[in-house]
Structure 1
Amino acid sequence: MKYSFLLFFLMISSAVLPQQETQILQQKIDSIFADTQGDYALAYKDLSEGNGTILIDEHENFHAASTMKTPVMIEVFKQAEAGKFSLDDSLTVKNEFTSIYDGSSYSLELGRDSGEHLYSQIGKKRSIKDLVIDMISQSSNLATNIVIELVDAKNVNKSMRELGAKNIDVLRGVEDMKAYEAGMNNSTTAYDLMLIFEALANGKAVSPEADKEMLEILRLQLHTDLIPALLPRDVKIANKTGWITGVHHDSALVELPDGRSYVLVLLSKNMKDMEAGTEMLAGISKMIYDLMINNP
């Protein structure tokens, strides 16, 4: 009888402890956010459900910056699967786009784009898949605008709504300064980005095959100074960052060596010290990782 009671106690303790640790960690992160200059949001979900979720200002709207490139990629794969084009089809690399504000033309500045190599290929052909890889791995703005013109931002939004992401708005391409100054900006929430990465992890964004391929592209990410920064090298991370002045975001599916995985989204705005804010957010990512490791 004593042994049965002890076994029951241990089973209850093991079920409650991870939840308690998650709640304690949420309180700690809340305190860190409050003590750090700027505004922050977090959405974490253990896809094995053992450690639950942590949600902090998850429905707060943020300028999407380059996190909007993940929804754009999903729409590309969706249209390709529907037979509208093949990912192997080619598009001409160009640097002239139409502002959604007034229909005027604008071009991107080489010095403002992290995908600089693509500018040497203007006038040449490049496959749609290669442009998507540039858009994600190097966060190429030029590739993004070419691809958005192909699939139409309105279709991106429609697909996001179908995935349950009600507050992501992809209105336009990158560096449409007239639209930016008029407040016509792409926006997102931590919660919606969490839903998108969860859908990719579960093979429900487009299809199991397409989602697997998109996650492989996300794993090619070259910008790793936030969620991946302090994590061990044997952790697989499929992530997409975004940054502009005062803003640094990251959104990721993190896969542990033991087969478990989790989604983490970290958003920020109004930061005056970008370096300090980035270091803080990288530290939060490590705290989430430690929660998972300590509660197998």
Structure 2
Amino acid sequence: MNLKEKITTDLVDFKGRVGVAIEIEYERYEFHSGEVFPSASVIKVPILIECLKQSELGKIDLDEFIKITDRAGGSGVLQALSTNLSLTIKDLMTLMITVSDNTATNMLINIVGMDQINQTMEEIGLHSTRLQRKMMDFAAKEKGLDNVTSPSDMVKCLKIIHEEDFLSANSRRMALDILHFQQFHDKLLAMINTDKVFTANKTGSLSNVENDCAIIKAGSKTAYVAVLTDQLPDPYEARQVISRIGKHIYNEITRKAQTT
């Protein structure tokens, strides 16, 4: 079976709702790729893009030290660290991505502005993506204000970080470095040998939601992939399906890299 057939087979009996967007060179696989899903923490990728753009415009200084305040629960480490801690904006960006730190994320939203994040997302063509609340703001969520995106929008984000000219070469390099040091490899990267390929990814999870988006590179071959899910009766089973999709992509691009 080819790549599309393998992935379609994995999705036939998927329990819950799932959307997939994959781009490898000029080939594209889409399965409900334009549908809107709860973003969970993959929304932190466009926030990262906005931070880098504002740095380029001189609106923020990535080396400025910020005192840690308004500590949020959920994922991350800042909530457990000392009370008088100060970190640079770049440190906050790194923690937001690599350990999905919610306190760092909320501080960055305050620094660059929620409205500006949304405006930039619209400018770069993320028409299904919207930041409507801070992390762990469940009161806003109960009012219907949730953060949302689509698989195709997340692939667009990954391409902006890797190859497009919205960001400078230095900013793209920094974003890739940060995403490469991602600590959560339990979905798209779980079944692949990350020593043999370059990976840069961001996961996201909520109750009955399991998401991941990744850049996977083997030699001159690059794959962009986003898998978003919700309404899951069994999140573990969903993670296994996402992991198999990652394995299929890994096999495909390593094979292509060996034949060119």
- How many Å separate the matches in 1 of 2:215 and 2:166? 14
Per-residue deviation at 1:203?
4.2
Matching residue of 1:44: 22
In structure 2, what residue type is equivalent to 1:255?
K
* Structure 1 position 124 matched with structure 2 position 88: no
Per-residue deviation at 1:158?
1.3
Counterpart mapping for 1:57-206 below 5 A: 57-95=32-70, 108-109=72-73, 113-206=74-167
- Pick from 26, 30, 37 the counterpart of residue 4 of structure 2: 26
Per-residue deviation at 1:208?
1.4
Q: Check the 8 A contact 2:77/2:99 in 1, yes or no.
A: no
Q: Check the 8 A contact 2:127/2:153 in 1, yes or no.
A: yes
- How many Å separate the matches in 2 of 1:75 and 1:282? 29
Structure 2 regions of 5+ residues with no counterpart?
Answer: none
Per-residue deviation at 1:167?
1.0
Q: Check the 8 A contact 1:44/1:194 in 2, yes or no.
A: yes
- How many Å separate the matches in 2 of 1:228 and 1:64? 19
- How many Å separate the matches in 1 of 2:120 and 2:45? 12
Structure 1 regions of 5+ residues with no counterpart?
Answer: 1-20, 96-106
Structure 1 residues 229-238 or 197-206, which shifts more?
197-206
In structure 1, what residue type is equivalent to 2:198?
K
TM-score, normalising length: structure 2: 0.93
Q: Check the 8 A contact 1:33/1:39 in 2, yes or no.
A: no
Cα-Cα RMSD: 1.5
Matching residue of 1:255: 217
Per-residue deviation at 1:31?
3.6
TM-score, normalising length: structure 1: 0.82
Give me the identity figure in percent: 27
Q: Check the 8 A contact 2:78/2:104 in 1, yes or no.
A: no
- How many Å separate the matches in 1 of 2:172 and 2:164? 5
Per-residue deviation at 1:28?
3.9
Q: 3-state SS of the aligned residue for 2:29?
A: strand
Q: Check the 8 A contact 1:93/1:121 in 2, yes or no.
A: no
Q: Check the 8 A contact 2:180/2:201 in 1, yes or no.
A: yes
Per-residue deviation at 1:200?
1.0
Q: After the TM superposition, which segments of 4 or more aligned residues of structure 1 sit over 2 Å from their partners? A: 24-32, 116-119, 121-124, 291-296
In structure 2, what residue type is equivalent to 1:236?
F
* Structure 1 position 272 matched with structure 2 position 233: yes
| 1:112-146 superposed Cα distances (whole Å, 9 cap, x missing partner) | x2213443233432110001101000000011001
Q: 3-state SS of the aligned residue for 1:35?
A: coil
| Count of aligned residue pairs for this structure pair | 256
In structure 2, what residue type is equivalent to 1:37?
K
Q: 3-state SS of the aligned residue for 2:12?
A: helix
Q: 3-state SS of the aligned residue for 1:108?
A: coil
- How many Å separate the matches in 1 of 2:111 and 2:129? 20
- How many Å separate the matches in 2 of 1:211 and 1:290? 26
- How many Å separate the matches in 2 of 1:159 and 1:128? 19
- Pick from 177, 191, 202 the counterpart of residue 216 of structure 1: 177
- How many Å separate the matches in 1 of 2:181 and 2:238? 24
